[in-house]
Amino acid sequence: MEFAVLLGTPLIGALVFAVGGAGRRAPEANAACSLITFAAAVALAVRIVAGGSLTVAHEQFFIDPFNVFLVALTAFVGFTTSLFSRPYMRVEMKHGRISAGRLRLYHSMYQLFIATMLIALTTNNLGLLWVAMEAATLSTVLLVTLYRTPASLEAGWKYFILCGVGIAQALFGTILLYIAAEKVLGADGVSALLWTHLNAVKGQLEPRVLSLAFVFLLVGYGTKVGLAPLHNWLPDAHAEGPTPISAVLSGLLLNVAIYAVVRCKVLIEGSLHSSLPSRMLMGFGLLSVSLAAFLLWRQRDIKRLFAYSSIEHMGIIAFAFGMGGAVANFAALLHMTVHSLTKSAIFFAAGHAVQKSGTQVMDRIRGLMTVSPTVGWGLMLGSLAILGMPPFGVFASEFLIVTTAMRDQPWATPILLLALGVAFAAIFGRVQSMVFGETTARRLPHSPALLPVFVHLAIVLMLGLFIPPYLAGWYRAAARLIGGG
Amino acid sequence: MAANPFILQLVNSLAALLLLLSFAMLAQRRVVTLVNLLAVQGAILCAATLLLAWRTGESHLYVSAALTLGLKVIVLPWLLHRLIRRLGVYWDTDTLLNTSGTMLVGLLVVVFAFGLAQPISALASTATRSAIGIAVAVILLAFLTMITRRKAMSQVVGFLSMENGLFFGAMSATYGMPMIVELGVALDVLVAMLVLGVFFFQIREQFDSLDLEHLDSLEEET
């Protein structure tokens, strides 16, 4: 029941908005849809945490503590982003950057995007997972090009082609997995792609084909995660699309993609009895962290800056999942949560900053504190949080990851610490001058509504100081499911 | 499943034709011909699927043959031709490598593909497992086409040809993926083409050309 509401609401919403239903009240209806989805996600999460995993619709969908936590997170950020996007898109319309027709497209695709992510998270069928991931790309391509500027078209094209090619690799990986699975589970064509069935027989799958499959799956879904060197689409797509879309791309889509990688890793590692998948994840992770940290220095555009920061954090998460084991998985899950909350909060604040100053170039954004203290503080606190300053939650998860690395993979620790330091210096310097720099602009008469920013940051702060036992138990159950290490 | 060497030979020759077509696409500079080659590739794929369906008696293969026929032989080429006419892109002469260079790289790619397919063919139990190497080669050659071309339209044709290769690989190794997956993939491809159509017009509105060189300004330092 909750499940039907969870997937049905955004799908119906997408359809209604597409035909222009809800008319002028579309922004409010969009938020309402997202609220219903969020309520369903919470109800589902409560049920799973109380009653354990469950399969729906002839085992095509499967919900366990690992994915229900991401479902809840996705629905929550989807809801707060819809709250943020209501006033934001209204201002964009007033500035003449988009027309009413495009706003309709925006709302429809927004709901469709949320729906595809929820399907990708909850499906038990690895083929459907692929289909949903591709649909998530397709639904956001037209959102990235919403402004129709040359730069946004270029970003959209890059996004489409790179993710298209990437996802084709993932399809090949899925086919290979199916070939191996069919040997064990039989060719009735039903169960051989179901994750739960595969997980039960993972020890018997042919290791050589599976290691090949993992390479393709990692490269394929890794492109969507934005792991270096396949990250080229990410900064462009984030910088050129409307800010609410940057927030959900960074906060949610990357999480969903990394979820797909981890689901596949669990299967394949169980069959290989070797650490190849772990080592590959760690390698790609470290490469992304270090490359992104140094590229951060060269950014001049505020949204590109934080897009590179997303690549860095995805690298950290991939590295942590690569290490595996209860503590590292716990830390990676925590990091996914806090990164997605913090990064979307930063994009909300940055979006307002850009709207106020009329430019995305950081050198020309100055004195946010004078212009609007709420935006200034939002951006400052968000940046401090994402840089891993205590007492925010990012500190807790990064601390756990670094200490686990010291114990399990000591060679990687200096690289991680160096990259984190470089990233800190790069982002902090930029944000400081944007927030506190001298400006001639006058203070805004009324401050923008930034409730979502501070709600997100408050949750991140709480997770840094105190993780409720209920939540901690939930994380632990998910970490156990992922295993490894 | 009676062993019928004749049909098997036929499927294998169709596979060889697929590979030949991939090379033809790699060399072809006229966009219209490129789309026609893609349609022929789709038709061969459809024929191979039909033969296999008849031989193995698996009913879902008939459905996927019908899907291939509808989507890859009729709808997509028609959409692409319409786009070409409306946008006026006919030639893609400016490639990254000259034709003979591309062909040589293509040959190396095929050798590599057969090496890659070795463990997969060893595992697969289907009668057509020898064709898996060809499927991988088709995928990689399509990838090469995408890399060496500058025009958006040729890249899209390369992308679709890659999809054909993937489909053929799945078919020759396992007699096709589960129906629900195949339907989903087909739907995604169709939607992707529709999105692309919209997208091309947006690009053209902005640049008056579909040359990807215009899409080269988002460099790192900007």
10-residue stretch averages of pLDDT, chain B, 222 residues long:
72 91 89 92 92 83 88 89 81 76 91 88 77 90 86 85 89 78 82 82 71 57 38
User: From CA A360, how far away is CA A365, in angstroms rounded?
Assistant: 8
B202 CB within 8 Å of a chain A CB? yes
Cα–Cα distances (Å) from A71 to A112, A151, A171, A227, A253, in that order, read 15, 33, 23, 22, 12
In a domain? residue B38? yes
Tens of pLDDT, residue by residue over A117-157, are 999 999 999 989 999 999 999 899 989 988 888 888 888 88
Which residue of A lies nearest to B154 if distances are taken between CA atoms? Answer: A161
Supply the DSSP string of A55-70, one letter for each residue: EETTTTEEE-HHHHHH
DSSP 3-state assignment of A390?
coil
Least confident of A19-33, A345-359, A458-472: A19-33
- pLDDT at A194 > cutoff 80: yes
pLDDT band at A237 (very low <50, low <70, confident <90, very high): very high
Amino acid B170: pLDDT: 85
With an 8 Å Cβ cutoff, are B199 and A148 in contact?
A: no
Amino acid B209: pLDDT: 61
Q: How far off is chain B from A203, nearest CA to CA, in Å?
A: 16
Whole-structure pTM value: 0.91
Amino acid B216: pLDDT: 59
Q: Where on the phi/psi map is residue A337: left (φ > 0), alpha (ψ -120 to 50), or beta?
A: alpha
Total length of chain B: 222
Amino acid B59: pLDDT: 81
Select from A256, A249, A177, A160 the least CA-distant residue to A214.
A177
- Containing A54, the helix (H) or strand (E) segment is strand A54-56
Nearby residues of A95 by Cβ (< 8 Å), 6 or more positions away: A355
Q: What secondary structure letter does DSSP report for A249? A: I
Cβ neighbours of B187 in A, within 8 Å: 131
DSSP 3-state assignment of A9?
helix
Query: Measured between alpha carbons, how far apart are the two ends of chain B, in Å?
Result: 62
Amino acid A441: pLDDT: 73
Q: Average pLDDT, stretch A84-110?
A: 88
Residues 290-349 of A with CB under 8 A from B: 295, 298, 300-301
In a domain? residue B2? no
The beta strands (E) that lie in A308-446 are given as: none
Other Cβ atoms within 10 Å of A421 Cβ, number: 11
Higher per-residue confidence, A212 vs B152: A212
With an 8 Å Cβ cutoff, are B181 and A138 in contact?
A: no
- pLDDT at A291 > cutoff 50: yes
Amino acid B1: pLDDT: 44
Supply the DSSP string of chain B, one letter for each residue: ----HHHHHHHHHHHHHHHHHHHHHHH--BHHHHHHHHHHHHHHHHHHHHHHHHHH--HHHHHHHHHHIIIIIIIHHHHHHHHHHHHT--B----SS-HHHHHHHHHHHHHHHHHHHHHHHHH--STTGGGHHHHHHHHHHHHHHHHH--BHHHHHHHHHHHHHHHHHHHHHHHSS--HHHHHHHHHHHHHHHHHHHHHHHHHHHHHSS-BGGGS----TT-
Range of the domain at B192: 11-209
What are the domain boundaries of chain A? 285-485
In a domain? residue B4? no
Cβ neighbours of B177 in A, within 8 Å: 127, 175, 178, 189, 193
User: From CA A30, how far away is CA A38, in angstroms rounded?
Assistant: 12
Amino acid B118: pLDDT: 85
Q: Which residue among B143, B207, B220 sits closest to A298, beta carbon to beta carbon?
A: B220
- pLDDT at A343 > cutoff 90: yes
Longest CA pairwise span in chain B (Å) = 64
Q: Average pLDDT, stretch A392-412?
A: 93
Query: How many CA atoms lie less than 13 Å away from A420 in the CB half-sphere?
Result: 21
B159 CB within 8 Å of a chain A CB? yes
With an 8 Å Cβ cutoff, are B188 and A295 in contact?
A: no
* Residue in A175, A193, A206, A232 to test binding to B, most B beta-carbons within 10 Å: A175
Domain count, chain B: 1
Amino acid B43: pLDDT: 94
DSSP 3-state assignment of A125?
strand
User: From CA A120, how far away is CA A133, in angstroms rounded?
Assistant: 6
User: From CA A175, how far away is CA A36, in angstroms rounded?
Assistant: 36
Tens of pLDDT, residue by residue over A436-455, are 888 777 776 666 778 889 99
CB contact at 8 A, A144 and A156: yes
* HEC profile of A339-369: HHHHHHHHHHHHHHHHHHHCCCEHHHCCCHH
Amino acid A31: pLDDT: 93
